[in-house]
Amino acid sequence: MTLRPGATGPPAGTALVRRPGPRLAEGIVTHLDRRPVDVARAARQHAAYVSALRAAGWRVRAIAPADDHPDAVFVEDAVVVCGDLAVMGRSGAPERRGEAAAAEQAVRELGLRIERVKEPGTLDGGDVLQAGDTVYVGRGARTNEEGVCQLAHLLGGRRVVPVGIDGCLHLKSALTALPDGTLIGVPELVDTSVLPGVRVAPEPAGAHVVVLGPDHVLLSAAAPRTAERLAADGLRVTVVDIGEFEALEGCVTCLSVLVR
């Protein structure tokens, strides 16, 4: 569903995605009570998510399946793309590290430079939020101080701000950015002392915003009040149902890597 139609234009870039595998229901759950996951429904939800990216003008490129890894559909965690640089993460969850090989091949085929976070550093892409010239990096169970330092070194002149998180899986589980750089999220889950200010999302799922274009955002169907408020602000808002992935602590940002 799109709350405000917009004109199509030239491709915004490439969206990397990976279809959910048959073991999706075995994915890691840390901060939620586990509930059953309908893999067939998840596949339909993922297809609708991909269709929304295409409708917004993104070229969609599929990363090779990694069916032995239940969480592999959450491709954002494997790689951080900044300009022509792709930084391969090293997850704080060792069982997820095997997901990275196919993601690295995909960004290499796009012509991006490749760097890697190395031991003892850990970094999940879900902890990396780029807002204007600033890169906020969550420190928690999946990303450690060494990983933050390595990323800062690899990004060169970008301003990197470590952000403590508590009670959520990743920084982008609690906080994302709107097209104008305004942060939106759940302030009680992050160390707000290092942030310029956070617009409070009306519901937790409203913390998860994918910027599809200069005035276009993607939100979960679980955040209807946030969608209405952003549409009232003049943004074009596309809403998708990703309930099966939310049962595994996933969100709309997790399911793609946007290469602009």
Catalytic sites, residue numbers: 170, 254
Question: What phi, psi does 4 have (nearest 5°)?
Answer: -145, 120
Read off the tokens for 225.
Answer: 């009040």
Question: What torsion, rounded to 10 degrees, do the Cα atoms 149, 150, 155, 158 define?
Answer: 0
Residues in the chain, overall count? 260
Query: Which has the closest alpha carbon to 256: 192, 202, 211, 205?
Result: 211
36 vs 128: CA distance, rounded Å: 29
Q: How many CA atoms lie within 13 A of 200 on its CB side?
A: 3
13-17/257-259 β-pairing: antiparallel
Residues with Cβ within 8 Å of 94's Cβ and at least 6 positions away in sequence, in order, are none
* Cβ-based burial of 45 (10 A; exposed 0-12, middle 13-18, buried ≥19): buried
What pairs with residue 164 in β-bridges? 139
CA distance 253 to 255: 6
Structure tokens at 176: 């994302």
Q: Is 244 helix (H, G, I), strand (E, B) or coil?
A: helix
